[in-house]
Structure 1
Amino acid sequence: MKKGGLKDQNIVVMMYDDIAYNPENPHKGDYNGNDVNKNNFLAVLLGKKSALTGAGSGPNDHIFVYYSDHGSPGYVCMPSGGNLHANDLSQALKNKNAAGAYKNLVVYVEACESGSMFEGQLLPSNIGVYAMTASNATENSWATYCDTPEYNTCLGDLFSVAWMEDADARRPGDPETLGQLYDIVAKRT
């Protein structure tokens, strides 16, 4: 995102980082994960002042939301504070649209059964939101880069790695539509 020109003050990162103090983690961090919960996520999304931090948005802004964690039909998991249910996310997106708080909003969700977050009437076609998910409503999302000898874990997920590697391979000013990106990501996942 920064390579594409976004400034730090326009990026909000919510990351539980529960591995920060694990003795097996070679890259220590200092994040407190309790603030990563559905209430704060929705507050940041809606630009509420009660949010710990967040970038306000207006009617000409383009917003990108990337979510990566576990999911199940009808919800995605949050590290603390309960799950984020599809109808709650849907209502938040509708409210943000009604407030005129963006021009376009793009949501990528990396989670098993993530397609269930937007199926049916959950995502109206007239609110300027484009959602792309790692899986449909009934399938798993899959990990990749699992054969790195120095780590005893997988380092990515197919969907996320596909769109990130595509973004990294693009030169600044090299346009790509969301439809083109969808085709590329779908082939790789």
Structure 2
Amino acid sequence: MLNYNCFIWSNDNVFVNFVDHGAPGLVGMPNNKILKARDLMAAILNMHKENKFSQLNFSIAQDCCIDQHLVVYATTAANPKESSYACYYDSHLETYLGDLYSVNWMENSDVANLNAETLHKQFELVKAKTNLSHVQEYGYMSIGKEPVANFLGSKAKDSIVEYPTVPFDAVSVDDVDLFILNQKIDKASEDKKPELSAQLHHTLLVLVYYISSWHLYIDYYAFAS
């Protein structure tokens, strides 16, 4: 059972940004555990019944079904049949700093008039920019007519954000570990390359096993749900 006790009240609009992975019938957690979609929906339903929130805006990096009868509006990075894409590779940290979908809505929120732009308008703008996967929206669609500021808050009118021109370096989340290792191999000295190449080979084998197992999980939990 999810612990959803927190300091929110019946008249609060709540925004949740869940940054990890999902699939039909389940949500992947950072500790490699799986949260079934039905358990997530049960927790949200209980919160709604107990007046824990007024409206909920849910941003999630992968597909997850949302009951359209709940006062919940959700957007996802991809449809149920595809991966989302990581972006902004940092060579110093040797990792990707974001994903296309999340980066696009965050950068839009930085520059847009949040009191005028609606959630659905932001969805359409993010959908157009996230061109490597198919961004989806679910749930209580009338919430999409509300301004983004109702969930993210307002900002100073004179705030100006300018982003440097840098490549997205977008890569499927399934291939992130492989691309990071390839970057390390390119930078490594000759004596380090054999060890890193062995890691790359091992990671590739693990990835093949992971993808096969993940599809089995999807089939099992979709059936069990």
The TM-score bracket by the shorter chain reads 0.5 to 0.7
TM-score (norm 1): 0.62
2:85 to 123, 142, 146: 142
1:176 corresponds to which residue?
117
| C-alpha deviation, 1:175, in angstroms | 2.1
Q: 5+ residue gaps in structure 1?
A: 1-38, 48-53
1:164 matched to 2:106? The reply is yes
User: 1 or 2 for the larger relative contact order (CA 8 Å, sep ≥6)?
Assistant: 2
Q: Compared with structure 1, are the counterparts of its residues 92 and 174 closer, same or farther at alpha carbon in structure 2 (3 Å cutoff)?
A: same
Structure of higher CA gyration radius: 2
2:53 corresponds to which residue?
102
Give the letter aligned to residue 103 of structure 1: S
Moved over 3 A (4+): none
Instruction: Give the percent of matched residue pairs that are identical in Structure 1 and Structure 2.
Output: 35
Matched pairs, number: 130
Q: Deviations over 1:41-89 (max 9, x none)?
A: x31xx22xxxxxx3x2222110011111133432222233721111111
Q: Structure 2: how far apart are the matches of 1:68 and 1:86?
A: 16
Between Structure 1 and Structure 2, the one with more helix by share is 2
Q: Deviations over 1:94-138 (max 9, x none)?
A: 11111122111010001xxx22x21xxxx3323210010111111
2:27 to 76, 83, 88: 76
2:39 corresponds to which residue?
88
TM-score (norm 2): 0.53
Q: Structure 1: how far apart are the matches of 2:31 and 2:96?
A: 23
Q: Give the superposed CA RMSD.
A: 1.9
Question: Which secondary structure does the structure 2 equivalent of 1:155 belong to?
Answer: strand
1:130 to 73, 92, 95: 73
Q: Structure 2: how far apart are the matches of 1:149 and 1:125?
A: 42
1:186 matched to 2:137? The reply is no
